[in-house]
Structure 1
Amino acid sequence: MIRAHILISGFVQGVCYRWFAEKEANSLGLTGYVKNLYNGGVEVVIEGERGLIEAFIKTLKVGPSSADVRDVKIEWQEYKGEFNGFGIRY
C-alpha cells in the first residue's frame, strides 16, 4: 500500500473533474479525497495499491471530456491508512 499526493493543472474546474475523479477512485477501491484549489487546479490525496493508483493517474491525465488537463504532478508518500473511503472535499 502506498499514498500519492497529486496536483492537476489546466482547465479542470467547473467541468465535473472532482466528480470524475471520485467515480474513478471508488470504482478502483481507492481511498482519499479530491478538492479544488484556489489557483484553479485540483488536488488529490489517494491511498491504495500502487498499480491501482497508477491506473487512476492515467485516467486523471485524460479527465472528463470537458476538461483540458495540462499537467499532473505526483509525489509518492508513505501509506498512512487515514481514509475510510474516497470523497470530494470543499
Structure 2
Amino acid sequence: MSSSTDSAVRLTAWVQGEVQGVGFRWWTRSRALELGLVGQARNLTDGRVAVTAEGDRGACERLLDLLKGDATPGRVTSVTESWGAASGTFSGFVEA
C-alpha cells in the first residue's frame, strides 16, 4: 500500500438521452468545478455528451452519481463509464 497523495484518476462518462441544447455541459462544468475536478464536457455527433473528469476518485464518483441522477438538465437515459489514470493535461473544466 502506498501512502502517496497522488491518487488522481480519470473518469470518462458517455451520457445518452436529451442532453444537447439543454445546458447539460454548463451544468456538468459547474458541478465538476464545485467538486474540484478538471476536464471537459463535449457534445458528440451521435447526440451524447462525453464528460472527462480528473481528480480525486471520490469526487469523480460523486460527479458520476450526479450525472446519473434526476437533477440534470434534459433527460439522461444512460451513462457508460470508463476509469483510468489521470493524464494531468487539463487545467480547469471547459465546455468543448
Q: TM-score, normalised by structure 1?
A: 0.92
How many residues align? The count is 88
Q: How does 1:1-90 map to 2 (within 5 A)?
A: 1-62=8-69, 63-64=71-72, 66-89=73-96
**Aligned counterparts of 1:3 and 1:58: Cα–Cα separation in 2:** 15
Unaligned runs of 5+ in 1: none
* Partner deviation per Cα, 1:9-51 (whole Å, 9 max, x = no partner): 0111111000100000011110000001100010011100010
Q: List runs of 5+ in structure 2 lacking aligned partners.
A: 1-7
What is the deviation of 1:77? 1.0
State the TM-score, normalizing by the size of structure 2.
0.87
Identity %: 36
> Aligned equivalents of 1:80 and 1:35: distance in 2?
18
